[in-house]
């Protein structure tokens, strides 16, 4: 779908409102063109026989036409601008919803500030295209055509001469319009750069201050602001040249028409009233041509922004959300992975084109992985950094789409289960904890919006968070700041664990979620998990042997392959990677105790 077709798709949703607005535009244009005729007739009539009655009659006609025109103008703005706001509302929701479905690789390639710029500034520019640009272009077109028709009735030769302005305006619009489009796109792109820089500095303010880079960052921001101002000035200089040239051309046209009209009046070929009406119609025709210049500016800006939005819309979500057949009856929560081989797809940056023949940046992360987790079983997954542990969990949760027929849930391929139902059954604690700028309780309740206060408190207790919460002034209602800045690393992880537990999931997945807690807290959380994991399928990824030693089965990954599997005791006897890891961590724990 092209940007234009996508825009027309949104127009189609509000075609009735836009049709009604079009009728109002026609009404306002008609009464706008009626007023010069009234003035012309009044001048001719009053020139021959001046009377109060005639003056009042023409005055009432002029006021009436102006009132009706004003009513239609109000209605066209209310209807068309209102529809443009509704379209902007729909587009903003659709754009945000689309971004929620995009693959993680997309966000690894993009900057947050640039995406925010597209979702705010660019959508505002598109709204100006949809509303004011459409309304004024339709109104201007009708008035120009109507005014020219009335001018032809008054004096055909003078009307045809006035058409000289049309190709001049068209040439100016074409010349300046293309350049306005390019420069506005440059301005918007650079605004995205500035937004990204500000967002990164605010998010990383601790790092900036830790390395005393405040002055350098301020200077960098000044340079970027100067570049942004220079690009805007370049655009302003272009538009500042465009409009005066239009005004100058129109002024010359009025001088020509005044000269020709006065000669015709002296020759008796044109009455004073007709000449006055012609001049009014000329004004009605040429001033919309100036409006066309402003409209073209809005159109070029809007289409440049629409292209930037389309660049994001054109990226297809990796994970399909098509409705499959829901799981019915009792759900056991059995997981099976069969011959799983996975290669990360490559997502190009927004607006870039991948050329044919370019070498692929894809790499295989998992190779021929097989294992099965029965109902109520706990499986631990260990391995070196980069061995594919987190990728495996991302495939099970369909954060990435697994190859068809490689992962099964209760005997069914997970791609055949509705995505929403599949994720409702899973409680996930990711490796990188993200907390919202809300209270601790609201962050836990993010796992299940309808959770009661008692359920939130119980989940916090199971996650080992109760002792910490009791020291906070407002308990679970304590605000934690952006990204949980007021909490320690361990407190953040335990809050994330509570968020998963409050869902009461059938499948519980912990992705190295105990790495930031001390040994005593880890043992307390694991003891709680031993109780709640009964009847649940549990997957625990960890670098610590202590986190997985009580699992029913342990899988060891290395370079994407399963190199060891078995119970804790069996793997120690095997004396491989797992046994070596256990010995090293045991020594480290003993050294810490001595220290």
pLDDT in tens, 262-320: 888 888 788 888 888 888 888 787 777 667 767 877 888 788 888 888 888 888 776 55
Of the pLDDT bands very low, low, confident and very high (cuts 50, 70, 90), residue 501 is confident
Contact 547, 522 (CB under 8 A): yes
Cα separation of 41 and 267, whole Å? 20
Cα separation of 514 and 489, whole Å? 10
Is the residue at 482 inside a domain? yes
What pLDDT sits at residue 68? Answer: 93
Which of the listed ranges 211-215, 432-436, 571-575 does the model predict with the highest average pLDDT?
571-575
Is the residue at 324 inside a domain? no
Question: CB neighbours of 519 closer than 8 A, spacing ≥ 6?
Answer: 546, 589
What pLDDT sits at residue 318? Answer: 61
Cα separation of 322 and 180, whole Å? 42
Q: Which of 467, 482, 504 is the last residue of a domain?
A: 504
Contact 192, 118 (CB under 8 A): yes
Q: What angle do CA 240, 244, 249 make, to 5 degrees?
A: 150
Token pair listed for 330: 């009792």
Is a pLDDT exceeding 60 seen at residue 93?
Answer: yes
Mark whether 44 and 27 lie in a shared domain: yes
Contact 95, 123 (CB under 8 A): yes
What pLDDT sits at residue 301? Answer: 79
What pLDDT sits at residue 181? Answer: 72
Mark whether 579 and 492 lie in a shared domain: no
Who wins on pLDDT, 137 or 318? 137
Is the residue at 293 inside a domain? yes
pLDDT, mean of residues 428-448:
84
What pLDDT sits at residue 293? Answer: 67
Mark whether 454 and 564 lie in a shared domain: no
- DSSP secondary structure string, 194-247? HHHHHHHHHHTHHHHHHTT-HHHHHHHHHHHHHHHHHHHHHHHHHHHHHHHHHH
Is the residue at 328 inside a domain? no
Mark whether 470 and 517 lie in a shared domain: no
Mark whether 295 and 389 lie in a shared domain: no
pLDDT tens digits, one per residue of 386-401: 888 888 888 888 888 8
Is the residue at 29 inside a domain? yes
Is the residue at 139 inside a domain? yes
What pLDDT sits at residue 360? Answer: 41
pLDDT tens digits, one per residue of 527-557: 767 777 777 888 888 877 888 888 888 999 8
* Structural domain containing residue 589: 335-425+505-594
Express as a percent the part of the chain with pLDDT over 90: 6
What pLDDT sits at residue 517? Answer: 64
What pLDDT sits at residue 74? Answer: 92
* Domains identified in the chain, total number: 3
Q: Which of 263, 283, 313 is the last residue of a domain?
A: 313
Is the residue at 318 inside a domain? no
Mark whether 378 and 469 lie in a shared domain: no
Of the pLDDT bands very low, low, confident and very high (cuts 50, 70, 90), residue 71 is very high
Contact 80, 136 (CB under 8 A): no
Of the pLDDT bands very low, low, confident and very high (cuts 50, 70, 90), residue 355 is very low
pLDDT tens digits, one per residue of 156-177: 888 888 777 777 777 777 777 7
What distances in angstroms separate CA 571 from CA 192, 194, 369, 562, 566, one per listed residue? 52, 53, 18, 13, 6
Q: What sign has the CA pseudo-torsion 89, 91, 94, 100?
A: negative
Mark whether 520 and 471 lie in a shared domain: no
pLDDT tens digits, one per residue of 8-67: 888 888 888 889 999 999 999 899 888 888 888 888 887 776 677 878 888 898 899 899
What pLDDT sits at residue 436? Answer: 82
Mark whether 520 and 378 lie in a shared domain: yes
Is the residue at 325 inside a domain? no
Mark whether 514 and 476 lie in a shared domain: no
What pLDDT sits at residue 63? Answer: 92
CATH of the domain at 204: 1.20.1560.10
pLDDT, mean of residues 399-404:
84
**Which residues face 413 on adjacent strands?**
408
Mark whether 161 and 277 lie in a shared domain: yes
Averaged confidence pLDDT in the chain: 81
Mark whether 263 and 406 lie in a shared domain: no
CATH of the domain at 447: 3.40.50.300
Q: Which of 473, 504, 535 is the last residue of a domain?
A: 504
Mark whether 455 and 542 lie in a shared domain: no
Contact 164, 284 (CB under 8 A): no
């Amino acid at each position: 779908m092209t940007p234009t077709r996508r825009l027309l798709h949104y127009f189609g949703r509000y075609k009735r409102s836009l049709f009604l607005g079009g009728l109002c535009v026609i009404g306002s244009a008609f009464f706008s063109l009626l007023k010069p005729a009234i003035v012309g007739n009044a001048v001719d009539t009053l020139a021959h026989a001046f009377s109060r009655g005639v003056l009042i009659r023409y005055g009432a006609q002029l006021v009436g036409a102006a009132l009706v025109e004003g009513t239609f103008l109000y209605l066209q703005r209310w209807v068309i601008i209102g529809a443009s706001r509704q379209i902007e509302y729909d587009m903003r929701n659709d754009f945000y919803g689309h971004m929620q479905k995009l693959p993680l690789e997309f966000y690894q390639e993009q900057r947050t500030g640039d995406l925010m710029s597209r979702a705010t500034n660019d959508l505002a520019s598109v709204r100006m295209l949809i509303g004011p640009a459409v309304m004024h272009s339709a109104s201007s077109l009708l008035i120009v055509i109507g005014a020219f028709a009335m001018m032809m009735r008054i004096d055909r030769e003078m009307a045809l001469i006035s058409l000289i302005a049309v190709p001049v305006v068209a040439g100016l619009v074409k010349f300046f319009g293309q350049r306005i489009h390019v420069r506005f796109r440059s301005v918007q792109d650079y605004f995205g750069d500035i937004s990204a820089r500000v967002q990164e500095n605010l998010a990383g303010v601790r790092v900036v201050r830790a390395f005393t880079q405040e002055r350098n960052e301020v200077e960098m921001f000044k340079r970027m602001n100067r570049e942004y101002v220079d690009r805007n000035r370049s655009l302003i200089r272009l538009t500042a040249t465009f409009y005066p040239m239009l005004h100058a051309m129109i002024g010359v046209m009025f001088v020509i028409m005044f000269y020709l009209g006065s000669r015709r009046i002296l020759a008796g070929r044109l009455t004073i009233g007709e000449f006055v009406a012609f001049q009014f119609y000329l004004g009605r025709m040429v001033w919309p041509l100036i409006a066309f210049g402003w409209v073209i500016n809005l159109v070029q800006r809007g289409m440049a922004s629409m292209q930037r939005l389309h660049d994001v819309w054109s990226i297809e979500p990796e994970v399909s959300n098509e409705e499959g057949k829901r799981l019915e009856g009792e759900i056991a929560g059995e997981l099976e992975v069969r011959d799983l081989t996975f290669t990360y797809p490559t997502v190009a940056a927004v607006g870039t084109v991948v050329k044919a023949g370019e070498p692929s940046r894809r790499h295989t992360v998992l190779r021929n992985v097989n294992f099965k987790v029965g109902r109520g079983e706990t499986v631990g997954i260990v391995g070196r950094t980069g061995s594919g542990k987190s990728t495996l969990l991302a495939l099970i949760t369909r954060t990435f789409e697994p190859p068809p027929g490689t992962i099964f849930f209760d005997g069914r391929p997970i791609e055949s289960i509705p995505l929403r139902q599949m994720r409702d059954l899973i409680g996930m604690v990711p490796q990188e904890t993200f907390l919202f700028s809300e209270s601790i309780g609201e962050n836990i309740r993010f796992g299940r919006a309808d959770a009661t206060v008692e359920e939130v408190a119980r989940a916090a207790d199971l996650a080992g968070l109760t002792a910490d919460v009791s020291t906070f002034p407002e308990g679970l209602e304590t605000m934690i700041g952006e990204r949980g800045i007021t909490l320690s690393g361990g407190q953040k992880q335990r809050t994330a664990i509570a968020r998963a537990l409050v869902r009461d999931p059938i499948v519980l997945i912990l992705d190295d979620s105990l790495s930031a807690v001390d040994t005593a807290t880890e043992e307390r959380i694991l003891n709680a998990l031993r109780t709640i994991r009964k009847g649940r399928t549990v997957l625990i990824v960890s670098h610590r042997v202590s986190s997985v030693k009580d699992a029913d089965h342990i899988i060891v990954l290395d370079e994407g392959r399963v190199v060891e599997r078995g119970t804790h005791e069996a793997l120690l006897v095997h004396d491989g990677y797992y046994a070596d890891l256990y010995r090293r961590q045991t020594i480290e724990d003993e050294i810490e105790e001595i220290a």
